[in-house]
């Protein structure tokens, strides 16, 4: 038992006894309490300290603190290290504790939701966290579900239940579930059985583990700290050797003076002690204040993100939120964005925008929001648009010519709208106020039925045998004779109805590429005209459907219906026979026109995608939607464009097929044997092509890759993933459709592992959590689909469009500021510290400090801390508007140009040069020199004050040169720090302080004496000029001979207009060789049989069936087909998703 508890074995089956907790407890199933937090009260301190001391710098400073506690080797007091170390660790611990507190609070919010559980034969209120596997739970309409459940019974007919999974995947369209036949009659209420709880639920299984994220600069700083420590050790060894030599050659002459006994202290032991003494003295090469400053700067950047009013979504009062303070600069280095579609790029609101009827285009906008109830008042006519209330969510159609055609009785227009009102799977019911409420299985159908309603053809009700439509105020009942359901192969649906005049008609809608092949030859001219309209619609990113009908002969239909009944009763090849009969009757159709529906994008998506593409950021769409829908949205938001050379579609069903398609696509990508069909590449050749790692640079033109989830599963196998990655990274855009949450994370991990690029994942649903956790940066959209994505994210935004400002402004500025901060910090500390190294050669390697001990303590904490913080927090090279207008400015962060190992060595060289000037200029100047009063001034204390004063002035002038954006705070901090230095210097060297602390402040009166000498100020000026002028000359020549883009923009910025140029939507250009279909239809197979079986309809007022011709379906066939053919339906509810029943 001890060993088995360490690793839980995978379950092959789960045995559960309903309403029997004692029996189920012996299997030790997980409880329903969720834990997304990292710590508790007992584990916080040890785990947090362990995480913090994983930082090399923290461990380094702890080691120095131990050394400083040894009096034989320490020339500095221990508090100079322990105070800043404790400060850094405490600040970080408080931040981590605060973050985890909010995780605990969100966990408690979910865990404490109430449910009704059957306990001891009666329903009792119970918290969701106390629900056990096997409990029977009563659910009500619009209730949240926080476990995976098995539906037992429902108040709907035949145990049906409609589920909204918006909080799981962002989808607001309803999914149907049916209870088991043996339990469906248990009661009139909705009851269910808890099947998987807590960490065993699908949501938690796919969420992945919370990972400790570090930026690339953090990782580089760890490496640099190790290098600096190695450099420090080398310096210590050199000085230790020098001490041993000096002790053996010169030091013995001082032993009598120092009261040493002969042989008491050998030169080797002296060198050993000197080594550790210099390790302590030179530790300021990487002071602890570096990490304090980094945390403060990151905190400031986070507040800027939170306070940015341009990322505040007023409609829902949602500001942007930086949920972590450790990743800000990495926002300026993003190379790949992995985005969800539904709820992230789109609003999942369908808008009926245009239609083509009998060769004429009608344009306008009729809104349909599937997340809202579709309601109309029975007393009002549907065509009375101005009279409808706001709550009905019906908008004006701007093209009034369509309204005129309806009023004039145009038969083609009437037939077109009649088809929209008849050919669908929408269910209607009346609420208590006498209003119609539409329940839609797909938002596309909701938009089309709502459009027909808005133009006077109102779908009122249906039975298994009839459909009732109110046509311009007149109720008309059609006999439903057959329903030819949609599937992904047919890409169309049809209904066969008999109108009151006795005429039988087939109405069909579907993909234009499929339906046009079924048209009667007499439609040739209309087909050409409608094709042009569809190309126009597709070019605008609209989702299109072709609309056609056929008048059927009674005798022909009866024969066909008998054949269909036989096919339905067949035990072998049933599906094939039914499909053949569908093909038989869906021919010689008469074209009516086409519809164009917009899957409404989030505001600003197109501009954001275009701008991020100009910033050389590649955008990959990872979605669970169908291929056609994903491609259509890709075109709508400019991730895919008609100007692309090719869009490669990978649909292989085996690993071999996928590999061949990927390699064939790579051949075509280099222009070999390229063949196009409707904008997609056909894979004809089986030849394989291996590409080296530099192949990406050889690609000319823009390409895109589309791959479905089934093919992706094979492509992610170890022997195929390299082919996938090579092709995908050579494409400008990638669309992965029908992918699972786990596959989303796997794609992100694949790019992270092999491309060494910074990745960002953005999503709004619980199915995006795993992807968000896997990426370097995770962003949650705080929309209406729940908070799972936000809770798992590093940053929360209300809209996708704010991503542009987050990256191009805040991300770029954070990276720019952090890099300037690090360059300056390493420079000033090498300049400050290495003076001790040069001084060692003149003090007998005695580990004596060249500065006053208080100056060493206060230099990084007081004298130079605030100016560098001001630069790190407020500095900017160009304005936020120019950062948005010129996305190419983002490129230095992607290439890591502003701070890398090369830049680090340049900063070190600059610091070494400054330290040489700081030491040897005053050394040479003070050598054998007398002051103005004739007294000798070349004493140690005057020398130390001159160097300290020169150092403060030099680094202050240097940061003034480094500052690009001046604020009042910069002026106060820089010049105030210089003034503070002189104030403290004069105070510490005063007689009053000496009298109080005679042993702590020995430099009594030296400051007044030294600074009153003109000679000293000339030395300070000479050091400043010698240190700064080479930098000024280099920067001047570089700016005018080799200016960067930011240099040019900064030069033009004052003359540039503040007004941002108006960005027009990119014109859609189409290749003349082919027409791209805009077909996309978010529908699932099986609803036709569900409707005609009547199992989803209440039997309150059964309609008469005498004389009606109807199809005879097997009573269970519809649900069998639904389960068999719909691969993306899940049997249970995932953890904490919205279940609207």
C-beta of residue 290 within 8 angstroms of C-beta of residue 228: no
- Distance (Å, rounded) from C-alpha 349 to C-alpha 1082? 12
Structure tokens, 127: 């918290």
Residue 737 parent element (H or E): strand 733-737
Beta-ladder partners of 475: 470
The two structure tokens encoding residue 1071: 């290749």
CA dist 347 and 658 (Å) reads: 33
In sequence order, the 6+-apart residues with CB closer than 8 A to the CB of 968 are none
Query: What's the rounded Cα separation, in Å, for the pair 90 and 96?
Result: 10
DSSP string computed for 58-100: HHHHHHHHHHHT-TTT-SS-THHHHHHHHHHHHHHHHHHHHHH
- Torsion angles phi and psi, residue 594, rounded to 5: -155, 155
* Cα–Cα dist 488/479, whole Å: 27
Partnered with residue 1139 across adjacent β-strands are 143
Which among 438, 298, 303, 414 is positioned nearest to 358, based on CA atoms?
414
Q: Phi and psi at residue 171, in whole multiples of 5°?
A: -80, 130
In terms of DSSP bridges, do strands 160-164 and 143-145 run parallel, antiparallel, or are they unpaired?
unpaired
Q: Rounded to 10 degrees, what is the CA torsion of 992, 995, 996, 1001?
A: 90
CB–CB of 202/1132 below 8 Å?
yes
Region of 971 please: left (phi>0), alpha (psi -120 to 50) or beta: alpha
Among 338, 343, 299, smallest CA distance to 322 is for 299
What number of residues does the chain have? Answer: 1141
Please say whether the beta carbons of 67 and 74 come within 8 A: yes
Which 8-state DSSP code applies to residue 1060? P
- What CA–CA distance (Å, rounded) separates 269 from 265? 7
Take residue 286 and report the two structure tokens written for it.
């990487």
DSSP one-letter code for 849: -
The 8-class DSSP code of residue 807 comes to: I
> Looking at 340, 444, 599, 852, which residue is catalytic?
340
The radius of gyration of the chain's CA atoms, rounded to the nearest angstrom, is: 37
DSSP letter string, 912-961? HHHHHHHHHHHHHHHTT-B-TTS-B---HHHHHHHHHHHHHHHHHHHHHH
Q: Are strands 160-164 and 174-178 parallel, antiparallel or unpaired?
A: antiparallel
HSE (side-chain half, CA atoms, 13 Å) at 404 = 5
Buried b (16+ CB within 10 A) or exposed e, 144-171: bbbbbbbbbbbbbebbbbbbbbbbbbbb
**What is the Cα–Cα distance from 611 to 10, expressed in whole angstroms?**
46
The per-type count for the chain, helices as H runs and strands as E runs, is 40, 31
Cβ of 466: how many Cβ atoms within 10 Å? 18
**Known catalytic residue at 340:** yes
3-state secondary structure of 779: strand
Return phi, psi of residue 925, to 5°: -70, -35
DSSP 8-class letter at 374: B
Instruction: Kindly list the catalytic residues.
Output: 340
């Amino acid at each position: 038992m001890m060993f088995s508890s360490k690793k839980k074995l995978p379950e092959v089956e789960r045995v559960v006894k309903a309403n029997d907790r004692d029996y189920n407890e012996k299997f030790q199933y997980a409880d329903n309490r969720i834990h997304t937090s990292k710590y508790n009260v007992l584990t916080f301190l040890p785990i947090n300290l362990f995480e913090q001391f994983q930082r090399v710098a923290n461990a380094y400073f702890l080691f120095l603190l131990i050394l400083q506690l040894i009096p034989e080797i320490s020339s500095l007091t221990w508090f100079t290290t322990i105070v800043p170390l404790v400060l850094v660790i405490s600040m970080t611990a408080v931040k981590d504790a605060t973050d985890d507190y909010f995780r605990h609070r969100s966990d408690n919010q979910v865990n404490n939701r109430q449910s009704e559980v059957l306990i001891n034969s009666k329903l009792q209120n119970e918290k969701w966290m106390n629900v056990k596997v096997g409990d029977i739970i009563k659910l009500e309409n619009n209730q949240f579900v926080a476990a995976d459940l098995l539906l037992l019974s429902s108040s709907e007919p035949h145990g049906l239940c409609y589920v909204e999974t918006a909080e799981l995947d962002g989808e607001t369209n309803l999914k149907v579930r049916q209870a088991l036949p043996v339990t469906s009659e248990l009661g009139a209420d909705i009851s269910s059985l808890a099947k998987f709880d807590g960490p065993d639920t699908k949501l938690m299984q796919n969420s992945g583990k919370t990972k400790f994220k570090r930026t690339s600069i953090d990782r580089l700083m760890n490496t640099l700290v190790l290098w600096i420590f190695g450099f420090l050790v080398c310096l210590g060894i050199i000085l230790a050797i020098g001490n041993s030599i000096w002790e053996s050659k010169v030091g013995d002459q001082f032993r009598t003076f120092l009261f040493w006994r002969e042989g008491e202290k050998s030169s080797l032991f002296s060198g050993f002690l000197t080594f550790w003494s210099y390790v302590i003295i030179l530790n300021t090469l990487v002071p602890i204040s570096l990490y304090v400053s980094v945390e403060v700067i990151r905190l400031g950047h986070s507040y800027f993100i939170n306070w940015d009013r341009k990322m505040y979504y007023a409609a829902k009062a949602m500001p942007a939120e930086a949920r972590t303070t450790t990743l800000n600069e990495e926002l300026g280095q993003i190379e790949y964005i992995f985005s969800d579609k539904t709820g992230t790029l789109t609003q999942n609101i369908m808008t009926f925008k245009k239609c083509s009827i009998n060769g004429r285009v009608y344009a306008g906008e009729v809104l349909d929001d599937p997340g809202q109830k579709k309601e109309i008042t029975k007393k009002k006519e549907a065509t009375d648009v101005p009279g409808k209330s706001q709550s009905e969510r019906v908008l004006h159609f701007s093209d009034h010519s369509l309204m005129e055609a309806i009023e004039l009785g145009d038969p083609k227009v009437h037939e077109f709208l009649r088809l929209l009102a008849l050919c669908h799977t929408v269910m209607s019911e009346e609420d208590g106020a006498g209003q119609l409420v539409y329940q839609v299985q797909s938002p596309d159908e909701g938009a089309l039925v709502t459009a027909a309603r808005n133009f006077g053809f109102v779908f009122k009700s249906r039975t298994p045998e009839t459909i009732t439509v109110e046509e311009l105020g007149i109720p008309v009942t059609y006999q439903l004779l057959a329903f030819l359901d949609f599937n992904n192969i047919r890409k169309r649906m049809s209904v066969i109805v008999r109108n009151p005049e006795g005429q039988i008609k087939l109405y069909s809608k579907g993909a234009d590429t499929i339906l046009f092949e079924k048209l009667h030859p007499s439609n040739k001219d209309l087909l050409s005209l409608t094709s042009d309209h569809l190309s126009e619609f597709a070019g605008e990113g609209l989702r299109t459907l072709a609309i056609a009908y056929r008048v059927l002969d009674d005798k022909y239909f009866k024969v066909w219906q008998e054949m269909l009944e036989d096919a339905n009763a067949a035990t072998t090849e049933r599906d094939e026979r039914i499909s053949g009969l569908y093909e038989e009757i869906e021919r010689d159709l008469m074209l009516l026109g086409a519809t164009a529906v917009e899957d409404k994008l989030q505001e600003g998506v197109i501009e954001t995608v275009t701008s991020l593409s100009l910033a050389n950021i590649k955008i990959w769409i990872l979605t669970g939607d169908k291929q056609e829908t994903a491609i259509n949205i890709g075109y709508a938001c400019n991730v895919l464009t008609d100007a692309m050379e090719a869009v490669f579609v990978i649909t292989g069903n085996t690993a071999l097929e996928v590999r061949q398609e990927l390699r064939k696509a790579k051949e075509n990508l280099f222009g070999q044997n390229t063949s196009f069909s409707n904008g997609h590449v056909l894979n004809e050749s089986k030849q394989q092509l291996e590409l080296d790692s530099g192949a990406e640079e050889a690609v000319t033109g823009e390409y895109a890759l589309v791959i479905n989830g089934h093919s992706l599963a094979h492509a992610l196998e170890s022997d195929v993933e390299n082919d996938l990655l090579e092709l995908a990274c050579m494409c400008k855009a990638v669309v992965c459709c029908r992918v699972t949450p786990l596959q989303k994370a796997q794609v992100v991990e694949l790019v992270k592992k092999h491309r060494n690029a910074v990745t960002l994942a953005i999503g709004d649903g619980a199915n995006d959590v795993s992807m968000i956790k896997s990426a370097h940066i995770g962003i949650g959209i705080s929309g209406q689909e729940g908070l799972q994505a936000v809770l798992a994210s590093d940053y929360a935004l209300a809209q996708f469009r704010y991503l542009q400002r987050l990256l191009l402004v805040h991300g770029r500025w954070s990276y720019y500021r952090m890099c300037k901060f690090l360059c300056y910090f390493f420079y000033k500390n090498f300049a400050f510290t290495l003076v001790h190294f040069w001084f060692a050669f003149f003090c007998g390697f005695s580990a004596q400090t060249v500065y006053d001990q208080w100056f060493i303590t206060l230099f990084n904490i007081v004298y130079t801390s605030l100016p560098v913080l001001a630069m790190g927090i407020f500095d900017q090279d160009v304005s936020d508007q120019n950062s948005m207008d010129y996305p190419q400015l983002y490129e230095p962060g992607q290439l890591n140009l502003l701070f890398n190992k090369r830049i680090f060595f340049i900063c070190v060289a600059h610091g070494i040069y400054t330290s040489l000037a700081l030491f040897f200029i005053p050394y040479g100047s003070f050598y054998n020199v007398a002051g103005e009063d004739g007294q000798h001034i070349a004493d140690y204390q005057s020398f130390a004050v001159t160097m300290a004063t020169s150092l403060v002035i030099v680094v202050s002038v240097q940061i003034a040169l480094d500052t690009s954006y001046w604020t009042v705070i910069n002026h106060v901090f820089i010049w105030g720090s210089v003034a503070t230095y002189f104030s403290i210097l004069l105070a510490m060297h005063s007689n009053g302080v000496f009298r109080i602390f005679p042993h702590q402040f020995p430099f009594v009166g030296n400051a007044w004496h030294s600074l009153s000498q003109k000679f000293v100020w000339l030395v300070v000026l000479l050091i400043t000029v010698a240190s700064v002028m080479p930098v000024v000359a280099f920067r001047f020549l570089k700016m005018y001979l080799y200016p960067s883009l930011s240099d040019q923009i900064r030069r033009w910025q004052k003359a540039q207009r503040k007004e941002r140029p108006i960005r027009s939507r990119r014109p859609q250009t189409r290749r003349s060789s082919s027409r791209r279909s805009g077909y996309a239809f978010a529908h699932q197979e099986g609803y036709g049989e569900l409707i005609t079986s009547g199992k989803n309809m209440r039997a309150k007022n059964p309609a008469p069936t005498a004389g009606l011709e109807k199809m005879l379906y097997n009573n269970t066939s519809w649900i069998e087909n639904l389960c068999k053919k719909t691969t993306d339906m899940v049997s249970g509810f995932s953890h904490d998703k919205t279940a609207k029943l």
